[in-house]
Structure 1
Amino acid sequence: MKLTSIAYSLLPVALASATTMVDLSSRGDQVFFRGNITAPRVDLLLPPRRTFDFTYRPSNWCGNAYSGVSAWITRTSVVSVNSTGGIDTGGDSFGVLWKYGDWLQPYNPVLNPPTAGAPPATLSMPDFTSLGIVPGTVYFHVVETAENCVNPWGGSTQYGLASVRLINT
């Protein structure tokens, strides 16, 4: 009986997760597979110009040796990537605050990226005061790009999105 009540209490969480996955995979070029941002941690307090650790573990759902990754900071939570691998903020003109860059992330840590550099080990929180952005919650996102995937949607490039909430102080 206790096992049944635990299962029923977890059912809404499981259904909410499934709904999110369906929503993220509703476009042919965006998939629900995503890697894991292991640094920075959720709700890390970051004043302007403070350096923070950056570590991302790619999902590698496509089976490539390398995944393209880009890192972003937005003012709002993001649930979508546009068709070119950029962040879609739903029309918020100040939604995207910063793009750190594009890199090649090896799936196997012993591999070195052949052309573009690997993601840096640290990044720095930009100073948003010139934009009139007051301290508060911002979101750090990593878009993972997989090329030459065989998939049921017909496209060969797919994007995954991982996010963590940060506190800009």
Structure 2
Amino acid sequence: MRRISQRCLSAVAGLAAALVVAPPASAATSTPHGRQDTQQRTQVFQLVARQTQSESLDLGKKGLSRGDELVIAEDLYRDGRKIGDHSVVCVHVHLDPDELQCVGTFALPQGQITSQALLHLPPAPSIDIAVTGGSGVFSSARGYVHTVPAGKTVRNLTFHITLDASSGH
């Protein structure tokens, strides 16, 4: 059975990565949307993701095969204080070259943010992950998360999130 290296695991772990409680930067814009203008706020903020658990699941054929999964849990920090959790599940969709389809959820005090990415192994030094939605104050979230390794099991995350101001949040 072929093993995924710890370096690849940590890179994959941060890929579907996170959001901050009180973002440091915000800008409002007005964008035409149908017949009405929709007020939008763009937020850029940073978190640190520290992997706490990971497991490779050998499903189907023995050894690495399409459909095998990688399950990862991370704690999310801002200014050294834990503020949330991140969970991600990746499925091997192609072998040689390796590709993983990953879906993640970031749980924060004000709501959740969902993300998705198709990852190629070995991973690039930094990766942008699509924000696909959310709940709570993040119910209209879209944008991306820029992830950069900061050690074997740590990644720095920069969120570039757009929220509709008219969503009431």
Fold match by TM threshold 0.5? no
Larger relative contact order (Cα-Cα within 8 Å, sequence gap ≥ 6): 1
Greater strand fraction, Structure 1 or Structure 2:
2
Structure 1 length-normalised TM: 0.27
Instruction: Give me the TM-score of the superposition, normalised by structure 2.
Output: 0.27
